Every structure is written in C-alpha cells, then in structure tokens.
Structure 1
Amino acid sequence: MTDVTMDTVATATPPARRDIGLKRRYAAERRFRLYGVLAILVGLAFLVVMLLSILTKGYTSFWQTTVSLPITFDEKVIDPDNKRATDPNVLITANYPALAQKALAEKLGIDAKNKPMMTRLKGFLSDGSRVQLRDVVVSDPAVIGTTRNVDILVAANLDSAFKGQIDLSVPEDRRKVSDQQVEWMNKLKAEGAMAERFNTGLFTFGASSRPETSGLGVAIIGSFYMMVIVLLLALPIGVAASIYLEEFAKKSRFTDLIEVNINNLAAVPSIVFGLLGLAVFVNFLGMPRSASFVGGLVLTLMTLPTIIIATRAALAAVPPSIRSAALGLGASKMQMVFQHILPLAAPGILTGTIIGLARALGETAPLLLIGMVAFVANYPATPFDPATALPVQIYMWANEAERAFVERMSGAIIILLVFLMAMNITAIVLRRRFERRW
C-alpha cells in the first residue's frame, strides 16, 4: 500500500491549478466579508430611517403653543352669589372658558356683542383653559377680582398650524384652520403674545380626548410602580433560584427539566404571560384590572427567566479555584457562596437584571390583556389604583385619528427610547466597571 504525502499531492497538482484554487477561496472570503458589511449597512440604514422618522415627527411635541392673555377673574362669572366661603365647589364649576374667550376677544379687538365673530373665536383656545384657570383660582382664591397674565393653551389645530405642520396654501375648505384663525394667529404672533413654550404638560398631564392636554404623567407613574414591583420580586427570586440550581442542586433529570423549562420560558411570546396573568391574577384571584400591581406581577413572571439565565452565567464564570480556596480555608458552603462567589458575580447579575427591566419597560401585549389600556386621567396614588404604562400610552395614541396625537405618540416613543438607552448604557458601564476577567 502506497503512502500519499503532502509533497506528493503538491507535486501532482500543477501550480496553475493551485493558484486558481487559492484565488477562488480568497474571492469567496472577500464576498463573505462584503455580504457581512452590506448586512450591517442595511440594518443601520433601517435604524437611521426609523429614528429620523420618529425624531422629525416627535421633537415638536416637546413644545406647545400658548397665548399670553390678561385674564380678568371676574367675580360675577366665578362666584356671583359670593358662596365660596360656604361652598368651595363654586370655584370648581365656574365658567372659566368665558373668561379666556373674553380676554382673547379684547386682545384681538373684537366686540363681545358681535356674536358671529365670538362664535368663530371659540375654536381658537383649548378647552383645557377651564382646568388651567380653575387651578389658578383654587390654589389662590385671592386672584378673584384681579387681572393676571396667564399662558393659555391653543387648540390642537392652531398648534399644528403655528408649528408649520399644516399647509396653509391649500384652499380653506380642505384644512381644519380657517383663514380668519390664521389672520388672528399671525396678529398675535407679531405682537409676541402667541409663542411656543416648553411642553411640561407632556410629562405631567394624564389621558385626555384633546391632544394639547394629553400627557404621559399617569403612564410614567404606572411604569415606575411596575418597575419597582419587578425589581423587588424578580431580583431576589431569580438570584435565589440561580444559586440553588448552580451551587446546591445535584444534577438529575429533575434539575435538567427545570433548566430546559427556564430556557424555554425565556423565548415564550410576551402575550402568553399576559394570558396567564389574566387567567390567574384577574379572573382567579380577583385582583383589580388595569392596576400597576397586577402589571408588575405579570412582568415579573416574564423577567424571571432572563434574570435566572444571566445570574447562572455570572455564577458559572467565577473560577472553581475560588470555591476550592474558600472551602479549603474552612468556610462552609453557604459562606463560600454568599461571601465569595456572589460578590464576584454581582456585576453580571446587575447587568442581567437591568436588561430584564429594560425589556419589561417596553412590553405592551401582556399589559393590554390585563386591562391597562383604560382611559386614566388621574394620577394613581398606589400600585392598586388604575394606571397605564408608557408603551400602552403609545399604543393608545397610535389609534387616534388626529394628527396632533401622532406628534404626541412620536414624542412618547422618544422618551421611552431615552429610558431604554439609559438602562442599557448603565448595564454596559456597570459590566465594564466591575467585571473581572479570569
């Protein structure tokens, strides 16, 4: 039997054929690299287009058009019978929009007796002026009988027109802003009374049927409650389960089954957890729908697999020599785990926890199923009160027909992305700051 050596093969292969083969392999490698670069560029292109679309539509939501008007808090309109000392509700039910409309008419030089002009003037200011002026009077009843400058919100259509989002060159019957309103808008703008100001209401207002008075206040508080619940429940349960599986549990079919199920749960669609929460927490246990506490429990179930997997990986990354050294010096297994292994694995555990919280913050489907899509205008005082969440509020605004809600939706997406980016950057910084390489 003849032994075939590499020299024999090299001698048997003509140099020209070897060169052709090498060129083909190098060409294939270059094509593969090119495909990889193209894939990355396509992904980045889609990401840039998406971010630019969100930013161009949403950055204007951080500014709101207002009109500075000298409001005369007429006692004849607010409390004609002087009952506010005995009946505080008088200050709440007063006709405050009439005060704003009268001040606007005087600002524009319109006679209050000219009913057709006063009727056209009604759609200029937001109906939210009722709440604005009511809060001023309720907080300080001494303003009754005086005149103060108040920045009144304009209606959503006027806000869009002032920001240049409505094409005013098209015929009047094809846009929601009349020529008369445009004339008044330009006059107020020239006088400096109408201007854009930072929209604090986007962060403080609750749900509203009017875009200019809609905000994320309730959603931010609801998301905060849920993240606190997830952190308080998912972190200790996940870390305890990971420590038991990684350090104390003996390898058996039962532990293998648990590990497989944990890995499978990490890939289960989030809507399945919503169905589980609806069946167990709402229907079986009778917990309140649309409450932050129930949403936190559902998101805890969804986050647990992520935290367990990340924690087990962090524990497994600690060198066995640390365990042997601790046990060799007389430490018990419990002391070895909690005084040596767990502190060294803490950076990985924190990273996994933050990533799990970031995923939970952006979830929508499970919260929709437990009723957190409800219209909630008041701040939740406790986690058991009705509330909503940031992604759910985005979903609700996306279903609205008015263009101003699209602007609000894009602004809410920007805020949510900022939160998610901050959490992910925090995870990266913590990992690089405290991680030890063995």
Structure 2
Amino acid sequence: MSDTLTHSERIEAGLTKRYRAEKRFRLYGIAAIAVAMAFLVIMLAAIGIRGIGAFQQTEVALTVVFDETHIKDNNWQAIVKESMRKKFPEVTSRSDKRLLTQLMSSGAGFNLQNMYRADPSLVGETRTVWLTASDDVDMLMKGAIDRASPQSERRVSDKEIVWIDSLIADGALELKFNTHFFTGGDSREPELAGIFGAFMGSIFSLAVCFLLSFPLGVMTAIYLEEFAPKNRWTDVIEVNINNLAAVPSIVFGLLGLAVFLNFFMLPRSAPLVGGMVLALMTLPTIIIASRAALRAVPPSIREAAWGMGASSVQTVLHHVLPLAMPGMLTGTIIGMAQALGESAPLLMIGMVAFIVDIPGSFTDPATALPVQIFLWADSPERAFTERTAAAIIVLLVFLVTMNLIAVVLRKKFERRW
C-alpha cells in the first residue's frame, strides 16, 4: 500500500512539475511577444515623431508683381527678392538685404513660374501668393532650432528672428499642409523635396516585377507540382529554388548589373531593369508559395475531373488552378511587398542617381522609395531628417496596404476542405 501511495505521489509531483514548466513556457512566450510589441511601438513612435513635421511646410505670404522684364529673362527669383525687400523697406544695407532674401526658399520662384504657366494673363498683375520659406525658417517654426541658444550655435540669426516674428505678427508666415511632399520630385533643397518621383519609380518597378514573376512563377509551380517526373533533375531544381529564396538580395543586383546592363546594354537607373532584378529576387518566393497552394487542393478534385474524362491539362487549368489561385496571389503580393522594401539590388543597377523629374515610363531614369530614403538619410541638412522619417511612414503604409490586400484576398477566396 505504501509503495502504491509513493508511486502516486511521484506521479502527482511529476505532473505538478510539468504544469509549472508549461506555465513558465507560456509566460516566456507572452513576455517575448510583449517585448517585441514594445520595441515595435517604440520604433513606430520614434519614426512618427520625427516624420510628422514633414507633412507641414512653412510658407510666406508676399505681394508680388509679375514683372514682364523678369518673366522674359526667366528670372523668377528676382521677383521674390523684390517682394521681400518691399515687405521690409527699412532694410537698406546690402548684407541685410541678402540675409533677408535668405528667408525664402531658393525654389520659391518655381511657384511663380508654375502660376504663370497655368495663367499667362498674370503678366503685369499684382497678386498676394503663398511661397515656400527656407528650410532654416521651417525648422525654427517647428521648434527644431532653439531661439534661446546663442546666435553662434544656430543657423538663424537674431535679425532673421526679428523679421520672422514680424511676418508672424502680420499673419504672413504660417505652417501649411505640405502637398509638394506628395506631388514633387527630389531636390537638393529639403523644403522642395518630394517623394512622388520615387513613388512612381517604385510603381513602375513593381509593375514590371509582377508582369514577369507572376506568370513565370505560376507556370513553373504548375509544371513541377503537376507534370514533372520525380527524378534526380527535378530534385536538383527544387533544391536550387529553395536555395535561391535565401540568397541575399544584393547578389541579384550584381546579376542584374552583369547581365541586364553590361551584356544587354539596357538603360541604367530605369524601372524596367529594376523590375527585372526584383522579379529574379521574387520568383523563388512565388514558386514556393504557388506549389504550396497547389498541394493544398484536395486530390479528390483531380480524381473527380479525371473520372469525368478531363485531361491532365484540363484538370489543372479548369479545376485545380482556380482553387489554388488565392494562395498564389497571396504569396505573390507578400513577395512583391518584400521587393518593395529592397534597396540593395536597386543600388547595384544605378537607381541611386539624383533624379528630379517624375518618371513617365518604364525606361525613364528613376529611383525607388527605399533608395530615396537611403539618399535623404545621408544628407547633412536637419530638414532631411524629418523627410526621411516621413518617407519611411509612406513606405510602411504602402507595405501594410499590400499585406492587407493579401489577407483580404485569402479570406475572401480561400476554401476550407
């Protein structure tokens, strides 16, 4: 009897110990998730705090005269300078006038030029318009430059602060929504820099990537899963596809540099080449996801089609492929979302070039959002820091949107067997 009780006690002690171990394991898992979520929140908060300022831009209201002489000479910045000097007639010395005009962006004249192109009848007229201020004024308005610090330690002098305060008191200096950030291209001046050029470059590259990788990936998966004989050669192909999915992305950039640029002499820094390189990188992921989707289709579907007299091709195209397509699309979107965030292969094929114009086709010089972020992060100006963070926010929104689309497609079209 004592032996039986001792044995029961041992079993109970072992169960208690096992339950404690399982409880500790669950707590470790919850703690790991909590730490990961905390770091994610900290990262997003840091990016958001730094980047939120880029969605606003300081602008100055000036009364400008569209002088015909300056318009003929295409000297739009002279109109801006004259307007600023009329705003402050008490500024007479040459050095102070130069300092005064530095309150305005060097690209403020482009705003006037765009207005004239939209309405040529403005010649000779006087209008009050809002023009872009310099990045130093913008940083002062956003609190990035401390007014209380000594003049030698800040980029805005005491005289400029007096003029800025005068403009604020007159209601002629305000923070406005920065539409140019979403509609403009890159610029050496941070207050004029926008992401639309890089965004269009990413769109064109992803379009080429999808048009190349999706059909090839699906056809390869169908052949390997449904028609290819199981022998040594198909085993070698499968192993190499799995290995290519783990190859660093910069290797695909080197391949694109050697083949597409040096051998086929395709245009450098073009979305066409960028999309082809990204397609090479995404293709293994699409093949693996497509094969998994095909394997998820129950064998009874194939057997029923064969029993009705359908050929193997008809069975795959009419029955198996439609059922596997949601999984294929999900894998494709996730693979393209990964490609959207890659910068290393694009750097290797020259998409790191400084591109001001918005690309209009697949062969126009362009850059991409990750590369644009890389370029801005390397710029010394303080205003580029917030634009870097803002571009990261836009890229994250783009990536989250693509992943949400993948989830919605899977939920809407998938069938449970």
Query: Deviation string for 1:118-146 (max 9, x for gaps)?
Result: 12202100001122222222333321110
- Asked if the contact 1:270/1:366 (under 8 Å) is kept, the reply is yes
Aligned pair 1:295/2:288, yes or no? no
2:98 matched residue in structure 1: 119
Q: 1:235 to 1:143 in 2, by over 3 A?
A: same
In 2, the alpha carbon distance for the partners of 1:116 and 1:279 equals 54
- Asked if the contact 1:156/1:212 (under 8 Å) is kept, the reply is yes
Aligned pair 1:24/2:17, yes or no? yes
In 2, the alpha carbon distance for the partners of 1:136 and 1:101 equals 17
State the AA in 2 paired with 1:252: N
1:225 matched residue in structure 2: 204
Instruction: Give secondary structure in 2 for the equivalent of 1:57.
Output: helix
1:374 matched residue in structure 2: 353
In 2, the alpha carbon distance for the partners of 1:195 and 1:77 equals 27
1:203 matched residue in structure 2: 182
- Equivalent runs, 1:91-240 vs 2, <5 Å: 94-107=74-87, 109-111=88-90, 113-240=92-219
In 2, the alpha carbon distance for the partners of 1:18 and 1:324 equals 51
In 1, the alpha carbon distance for the partners of 2:374 and 2:230 equals 45
Q: 1:342 aligns with which of 307, 312, 321?
A: 321
Q: 1:37 aligns with which of 30, 42, 51?
A: 30
Q: 1:284 aligns with which of 254, 260, 263?
A: 263
In 2, the alpha carbon distance for the partners of 1:221 and 1:397 equals 17
State the AA in 1 paired with 2:78: A
Tell me the CA shift for residue 39 of structure 1: 0.9
- Asked if the contact 1:62/1:199 (under 8 Å) is kept, the reply is yes
Q: 1:338 to 1:212 in 2, by over 3 A?
A: same
In 1, the alpha carbon distance for the partners of 2:320 and 2:95 equals 79
Tell me the CA shift for residue 111 of structure 1: 4.0
Aligned pair 1:50/2:43, yes or no? yes
CA-based RMSD of the aligned residues comes to 1.6
Tell me the CA shift for residue 35 of structure 1: 1.1
Aligned pair 1:259/2:262, yes or no? no
TM-score by structure 2 length?
A: 0.96
1:83 matched residue in structure 2: none
Query: Deviation string for 1:367-397 (max 9, x for gaps)?
Result: 0011100011112222112110000000000
Deviates more, 1:396-405 or 1:184-193: 184-193
2:57 matched residue in structure 1: 64
State the AA in 1 paired with 2:149: V
Instruction: Give secondary structure in 2 for the equivalent of 1:334.
Output: helix
Deviates more, 1:209-218 or 1:113-122: 113-122
- Asked if the contact 1:246/1:312 (under 8 Å) is kept, the reply is yes
- Asked if the contact 1:239/1:307 (under 8 Å) is kept, the reply is yes
- Asked if the contact 1:73/1:145 (under 8 Å) is kept, the reply is yes
Q: Unpaired runs of 5+ in structure 2?
A: none
In 2, the alpha carbon distance for the partners of 1:135 and 1:339 equals 55
- Asked if the contact 1:162/1:185 (under 8 Å) is kept, the reply is no
Tell me the CA shift for residue 203 of structure 1: 1.6
Query: Deviation string for 1:54-82 (max 9, x for gaps)?
Result: 00000111111101111111223333xxx
- Equivalent runs, 1:323-342 vs 2, <5 Å: 323-342=302-321
Instruction: Give secondary structure in 2 for the equivalent of 1:284.
Output: coil
In 2, the alpha carbon distance for the partners of 1:168 and 1:97 equals 28
Tell me the CA shift for residue 113 of structure 1: 4.4
Q: 1:392 to 1:15 in 2, by over 3 A?
A: same
Aligned pair 1:246/2:225, yes or no? yes
State the AA in 1 paired with 2:43: M
Query: Deviation string for 1:249-269 (max 9, x for gaps)?
Result: 111111111111111111111
Aligned pair 1:432/2:407, yes or no? no
Tell me the CA shift for residue 15 of structure 1: 4.4
In 1, the alpha carbon distance for the partners of 2:7 and 2:212 equals 70
State the AA in 2 paired with 1:426: I
Q: 2:248 aligns with which of 253, 269, 292?
A: 269
Q: 2:337 aligns with which of 358, 364, 374?
A: 358
Tell me the CA shift for residue 240 of structure 1: 0.5
Tell me the CA shift for residue 11 of structure 1: 2.3
Q: 2:300 aligns with which of 321, 336, 343?
A: 321
Instruction: Give secondary structure in 2 for the equivalent of 1:65.
Output: strand
1:76 matched residue in structure 2: 69
Instruction: Give secondary structure in 2 for the equivalent of 1:167.
Output: coil
State the AA in 1 paired with 2:286: I
Instruction: Give secondary structure in 1 for the equivalent of 2:262.
Output: helix
- Asked if the contact 1:110/1:117 (under 8 Å) is kept, the reply is no
State the AA in 2 paired with 1:55: G
- Asked if the contact 1:295/1:370 (under 8 Å) is kept, the reply is yes
Instruction: Give secondary structure in 1 for the equivalent of 2:354.
Output: coil
Q: Unpaired runs of 5+ in structure 1?
A: 1-7, 80-89
Aligned pair 1:417/2:396, yes or no? yes
How many residues end up aligned between the 2 structures? 417
Aligned pair 1:393/2:372, yes or no? yes
State the AA in 2 paired with 1:394: I
TM-score by structure 1 length?
A: 0.92
In 2, the alpha carbon distance for the partners of 1:254 and 1:419 equals 40
Tell me the CA shift for residue 18 of structure 1: 3.6
